Amino acid sequence: MLQSHIIVLDLGFGDAGKGATVDWLCSPEAGLDVSAVVRFNGGAQAAHNVIADGRHHTFAQFGSGTFSGVPTLLSRHMLVEPIALAGESRQLAALGVPDPLSLLRIDGRALLTTPIHIAANRAREDARGSSRHGSCGRGIGETASYAIEYDAPTVSDCLRPDVLYPKLQAMAAYFGPLIAPSAHRYEAIRDLVDMYREFAAAVRIVDGTELARLAERGRLIFEGAQGVLLDEWRGFHPHTTWSTVEPRNARALLTEIDAPAYTLGVTRTYMTRHGAGPFPTEDPTMTFPEPHNATGPYQGHFRRGHLDPILLRYAIEVSGGIDGLALTHLDAPGTGYAATGYATAGGMLDRLEPGRWQNLDHQRDLTALLTMADPILTAVPAEPVPWLERQLGAPIVLTAHGPDRRDRTPTRVVAAA
């Protein structure tokens, strides 16, 4: 039987512990013979905190298996920001990772996020004032939206300055009216082209055959970014990310190489959310420390709330199901309740209707519903694992009682071949 490659998927609004989960899966302790971590969505806005062997790093574009020496493939679905990537490489080198860029492979078809995108993103979000959507301010939405209509720069263009330069010029002209009145600026285009030429010489830019080569050497771990409840089509519009978070892209990549997938959903024992958007079980009295989740100038406040199996079941359903669960933050205080229903103007609900894919009108309706929903809370049993398995219809295969790699405990075999 072919071994199953593992897709790691955050079932919430992000920050559930994907990075720490991937780190453990790639570690010698897990014994999974991992050949690469594949990033399949998002970009430099990811913030996956890993603590292992006395080191802490917030992974953004490098895969969270880097401390174990596992290579990273940034797939064609990633939005690659080379300047931030170079900075992350220096941080990893300072933590003792030898030559981090040598662990990196980048699909040349991946879109390039530039300082022009970042300036436009921040200018647009500033202009929204109190109606901000909750952007990270990293240019993700501008990168994705511009590419829908225009010939956007890609990673492979960094190898061809004569192609890249006019693309950047056209993009600067397009975003100029948005950026000019703002306080945000970016480097001269000629300087950007020079930086990207150096970047292309320092990394390995690959084609679509690289995935199959890596799969021949061992197991692949697909590391998702953000959370399914922020998905561009399945999240609660407009407070979403410009990224397909649910695993269709990861599964499509595996279908291309005729390989099976095991989908591992990740959730905390309570819910969290950065910035604006509906959050039915939010509880402002849950103020215990979150050292790696501060208020961001564009994301906004870090919010906490009680466990919400209704939202988690929705995330599982729109993701096409999962095979197992990783349950994190079992050491956290104040997490003794969960929502078993919502009281709404239309009556009591214990399920959200997914609707059709790419139906933003439906997602707006869900946003309105959740904004007014009053959660019906029940006490979670002292032993939450069996209860949550029944609530979500999937086995919990990994638990975490703290932030360190050594705090993770497998409870069942993960992704057996």
Percent of the chain with pLDDT over 90: 86
pLDDT score at 162: 97
C-alpha radius of gyration, the chain, whole number: 21
Q: Quick one: pLDDT band at residue 125, thresholds 50, 70, 90?
A: confident
pLDDT score at 1: 37
**Is the CB of residue 335 less than 8 Å from the CB of residue 270?**
yes
The predicted model gives 298-315 an average pLDDT of 89
3-state secondary structure at position 393:
coil
- List the structure tokens of 61: 């574009």
The string of pLDDT tens digits covering residues 199-234 is 999 999 999 999 999 999 999 999 999 999 999 999
The predicted model gives 335-353 an average pLDDT of 94
**Is the CB of residue 53 less than 8 Å from the CB of residue 405?**
yes
pLDDT score at 294: 64
How is 270-293 classified by DSSP, letter by letter? SEEEESSS--TTB-TT-----TT-
The string of pLDDT tens digits covering residues 241-294 is 989 999 999 999 999 999 999 999 999 999 999 888 999 999 999 987 777 766
Indicate the burial class of 359 (C-beta count within 10 angstroms; 0-12, 13-18, 19 or more): middle
pLDDT score at 131: 59
Which H helix or E strand runs over 22? helix 18-26
Q: How many C-beta atoms surround the C-beta of residue 417 within 10 A?
A: 11
> In the predicted model, is pLDDT for residue 103 greater than 80?
yes
pLDDT score at 290: 75
Q: Quick one: pLDDT band at residue 408, thresholds 50, 70, 90?
A: very high
Residue 164 is given by DSSP the state: H
> In the predicted model, is pLDDT for residue 52 greater than 90?
yes
pLDDT score at 126: 83
- List the structure tokens of 375: 């959660």
Q: Quick one: pLDDT band at residue 134, thresholds 50, 70, 90?
A: low
Distances (CA, A) of 274 to 130, 169, 227, 229, 407: 15, 34, 11, 12, 25
**Is the CB of residue 366 less than 8 Å from the CB of residue 305?**
no
In one letter, which amino acid is 16? A
Residue 282 is given by DSSP the state: B
Ordered alpha helix ranges (H), 135-188: 140-149, 161-179
Peptide bond before 403: cis, by omega within 30 degrees of 0?
A: no
> In the predicted model, is pLDDT for residue 128 greater than 90?
no
The string of pLDDT tens digits covering residues 379-396 is 999 899 999 999 999 999
- What's the whole-number average pLDDT of the chain? 93
In our burial notation (b when 16+ CB lie closer than 10 A, e otherwise), range 64-88 reads: bbbbbebbbbbbbbbbbbbbbbbeb
pLDDT score at 10: 98
Closest CA to 57 of 29, 101, 89, 25: 89
